[in-house]
A = this chain, B = another copy of it.
Amino acid sequence: MSDKRTRAPRNTLNPELIVTTALRLMAADGVEAFSLRALAKELGVGPMALYTYFRGKDELFDAVRDHLLGTRRLATAKGPWQQQIRSVATGLRELLLEYPCLLRILASRPLKGPETAAVTETLVRALREAGFSKENAARAYTMLFTFVLGAALWESQMNAEKQDPEGRRRLRATMASLSEVDYPTVVDLAGELAATSGGDAQFEFGLRALVAGLEPLLD
């Protein structure tokens, strides 16, 4: 970023710059390849400079997560409550798929605070307005959220595996090597399982079924 010889001036750093740069690096090379040292080099400072703004790597991860979760407000579509809910869930999935690092952070670090409040508010409000009781709204929210999380996580990993040709080959080899006597149904459905292992249609299918299963709770 800057020349190698100069000492970085006094106000080169601020939390937001650090977070956005960290996010850029994580999006480029993956969370696991991310390191404080690489981030510091990218910013043209020494590694320890970051500790002025964050207690450590974990806190920086939290900040990145909060940044992503706070930046986007998920829009609620107009229409019947089923559609409203589906639109929020779809928006959340898209956010998670756009930033796999966010997915990894959510999956590896417990929530500490109000980070998800925005998406929670959106979803829970739609559920309440649809007529769900307090308890059912809370339950339905948790269910929807965890479903989207799991689906996005799985999809993201399938995508990762399908990225490199070696992974594709391995997947195919695996399917072919399955014993037909041990796993007859899996072998029979190999094609369908591979075809539906991810993608918008699969998510839409699950989401519709889930929301449909919620309807009877409205009496």
Contacts and interface: CB of A to CB of B under 8 A. Distances in A.
Nearest to A148: B150
Contacts of A95: none
A124 B189 contact: yes
Contact of A185 (B121, B143, B150): B121
B206 A135 contact: no
A149 B178 CA distance: 23
Contact of A121 (B107, B153, B170, B186): B186
Most buried by B among A140, A142, A178: A142
Contacts of A208: 213
B112 A153 contact: no
Interface string A195-212: 111000010011011111
A174 B112 contact: yes
A143 B209 contact: yes
A156 B214 CA distance: 24
Nearest to A193: B138
Interface stretch (A35-43, A48-56, A157-165): A157-165
Contacts of A148: 150
Nearest to A32: B108
A211 to B, nearest CB: 7
Contact of A142 (B111, B134, B206): B206
A88 to B, nearest CB: 13
B121 A188 contact: no
A138 B185 contact: no
Contact of A183 (B120, B154, B188, B192): B120
Q: What are the nearest 3 A-B pairs in CB distance?
A: A150-B150, A213-B213, A143-B206
